[in-house]
Amino acid sequence: MHSNNKVVKFIISRIKKISIFEEIKDNEEYIWAFINICKIREFKKGKVVIKEGDIGSEMFIVIQGSVKINKKTRAGDDYTVAVLDAKDNIFFGEMAMIDDDKRSATVFASKDSEFLVINKNDFLKLGDKSPHIAMPIIRAIAKILAGRLRKTTFDMITLFDALVTEIGND
């Protein structure tokens, strides 16, 4: 971690705005325990941060800069899902804190960027040692994933209904 006090304060202020830290954001001790397991990593504009299909074990919080999130279609074509900026208080790779599956998208640095990086094993050790710190973060990640699952289910039903209606009109 940076020894520069100004940089550390900036990182803490950024973390406190990230939704998965909502339950612990007012506890400096908890925030410090989390920060102490993190590393800072920088990526130049255009560099791949994570690649769809790779196995990942890290979650990223965008401290400065922005990212472009791309997915591949079934035909193998790339499409941009989103372009997100640090000011949007974003993170990605959170599923790697839960499972050991492949990355679901490719993330590029869309400008020179700096990330706070959390390794799954370090996070699990923090959870074993201090569950009162890790559990609120895990709960927040679980809520996000549950919301995505509900949206996917709704989207699938909408597509199914549209297909049934289209077939019924023929």
Q: What is the CATH number of the domain that holds 77?
A: 2.60.120.10
Cα Rg, the chain, nearest whole Å? 18
Q: Give ∠ CA 48-54-142 in degrees, rounded to 5.
A: 95
Which one has a higher pLDDT value, 152 or 132?
132
Position 144 pLDDT exceeds 50: yes
What per-residue confidence (pLDDT) applies to 2? 46
What HEC string does the chain produce?
CCCCHHHHHHHHHHHCCCHHHCCCCCCHHHHHHHHCCEEEEEECCCCEEECCCCECCEEEEEEECEEEEEEECCCCCEEEEEEEEHHHCCEECHHHHCCCCECCCEEEECCCEEEEEEEHHHHHHHHHHCHHHHHHHHHHHHHHHHHHHHHHHHHHHHHHHHHHHHHHCC
What per-residue confidence (pLDDT) applies to 8? 85
Q: Which residue segment(s) compose the domain that 157 sits in?
A: 5-168
Which one has a higher pLDDT value, 155 or 153?
153
Would you state the torsion angle of the CA atoms of residues 165, 167, 169, 170, taken in this order, to the nearest 10 degrees? 170
- What strands, in cross-sheet order, belong to the sheet with 113-119? 38-43, 113-119, 58-64, 91-92
Give the count of domains, the chain. 1
Stretch 104-132: mean pLDDT = 95
Average pLDDT taken over every residue of the chain? 91
pTM listed for this prediction: 0.84
**Distance (Å, rounded) from C-alpha 47 to C-alpha 67?**
10
Q: How confident is the model at residue 155 (pLDDT cuts 50, 70, 90)?
A: confident
